[in-house]
Structure 1
Amino acid sequence: MASKQPHDKFAKSAPDTSTATVLGYPRSDRILLLVGIPLIGAVLGLLLPILARQVTGWSKLPLRIVFEFLASPEETWQVVAFAAGGFVIGLVFAFIALSESLTVTLTDARVEVTAEHWQEAVDRADVSAVFMDGKQLVVLDHGSRQVVRGSHAAPAQRIAAVFRKHGYPWSDSDPYADLFKKWVHGSGALRPEVDAVLAARKEALKRKSWFDVHELTQAVEELGYTVREKGTEQYWRPLVQS
């Protein structure tokens, strides 16, 4: 018989096993995102024409054509169209926010992670460390590869508690943080092939092409290094066997 896990805002019992915990967006937060943000967008769509009319009379107004367009709705259907446009834009932002957070399913033997463009499953025996790097959850294997790295909605203390509960080696910080160095293209610190992959990865970061970022991270690790970023700046370190 499946045992019921204690209710938690960020964790709930998985229906198919008695020992699994799922970490993901709680239903209340999903509703808030999918309803609240689009409604805010609709309100902004209604207010923008009013605000734009207040500034179109300024003699020195940058991007005047944009403000004149925003100030143009007068007919009812035009006002409704602006509100609907704001609602749709808000809905898009809400789906982006949901898609960028990982869903993590944990048992004592395995961790499974689902993101928008990739999935990963790692046996507990293959995990050497789990920690938070800012808002990102990181899981390292025994070769110090980042087999999982991605943003998560839950508070760090809740994530730590769940991983510890299932017997994973939680760390309060990155055990290899001191090994990271800032990547400088063409500095000669790395082999040309590694430098080339990191250059491609930086372009993927600028485009926010997360699938490409994930694939290029794996390519870097195949060459004996791993990488993390702050904004579009990249930091690399050699892989270390634990």
Structure 2
Amino acid sequence: MAAEPAATTVTEHRLVRHGSWIVCPLLGALIVWLLRLASAWVAGLPWAPFQGVFQLAASVPDPWGTVGAIAIGVILGLGFAGLMAQERLAVTVEPEQVVLTVGRSRQHIARAEIGYVYVEGKNLVVLDESGGEHVRQPSDLDRFALRRAFTDHGYPWRDKDPFTGSYSLWVEDTPELSLRINSLMAARERALRKRAGKEAALLRTELVKHGILVRDEKKRQYWRTTD
């Protein structure tokens, strides 16, 4: 009998993972150095904001002004690289479970609880057999690498949402939905119009708690129940 494949971990390419710790500090140093060069000119503009900051930057003589600007830029770049690392997704597919790691956070999903796996846009989606959502995690992971990792371990991978035909277009005061759900959908539509992505994501999470899944197509909301 053939042995089960070993665990497979899908992460961003090592050039991206390691390169961000080099590129971000270099970009930070360059940007702050350019701001240092322009500080005297900006400080002379009466309408420019943060006049005090630019005046202070322009008052520091070289070489310490330039050295300080580069050092600050490197520190800011390292901080940005650290934030990117904390938001980076790694997916480990094992014979009996899937582990999703984002920064120091880990989510374990048992194989028996997984009904469907697919990628929708930039999101990795894991559903149970009834269509309930375990995971909708944004990532830049390679779609084909994910597909290979899940199919090699026999997980039910799909090339698209298997419940696509179950969604209905949401309109204001949809009679099939409660007043509470319609209010959340209306609030989310306003957030989408304002391009408030984080607010829209939070409202979507709240709708999931009420058994409603939402997908967006051409700036319209479509919904289905998970019951």
TM-score higher than 0.5: yes
1:238 aligned residue (199, 216, 224): 224
Corresponding position of 2:95: 108
Q: What is the SS of the residue equivalent to 1:137?
A: strand
Corresponding position of 1:33: 20
Corresponding position of 1:12: none
Corresponding position of 2:150: 163
Corresponding position of 1:134: 121
Q: For the structure 1 residues 228 and 52, does the alpha-carbon distance in structure 2 shift closer, same or farther, using more than 3 Å as the test? A: farther
1:70 is displaced (CA, Å) by 8.5
1:105 is displaced (CA, Å) by 1.2
Identity %: 27
What is the CA–CA distance in structure 1 between the aligned matches of 2:226 and 2:126, rounded to whole Å? 14
Report if the CA contact (8 A) 1:49-1:70 is conserved: no
1:123 aligns with 2:110: yes
TM-score between both structures, scaled by the size of structure 2: 0.73
TM-score between both structures, scaled by the size of structure 1: 0.69
Unaligned segments of structure 2, at least 5 residues = none
Mapping for residues 1-242 of structure 1, pairs under 5 Å: 19-51=6-38, 63=49, 65=51, 68-69=54-55, 72=58, 74-75=60-61, 76-116=63-103, 118-180=105-167, 187-189=172-174, 190-197=177-184, 199=187, 206=196, 208=198, 213=202, 217-228=204-215, 235-240=221-226
1:163 is displaced (CA, Å) by 1.1
Unaligned segments of structure 1, at least 5 residues = 4-16
What is the CA–CA distance in structure 2 between the aligned matches of 1:117 and 1:69, rounded to whole Å? 41
Report if the CA contact (8 A) 1:101-1:151 is conserved: no
1:125 is displaced (CA, Å) by 2.8
Deviations 1:136-183 (A, max 9, x none): 111111121221111233211111111111111212222234555676
Q: How many residues align?
A: 217
RMSD: 3.9
Amino acid aligned to 2:51: I
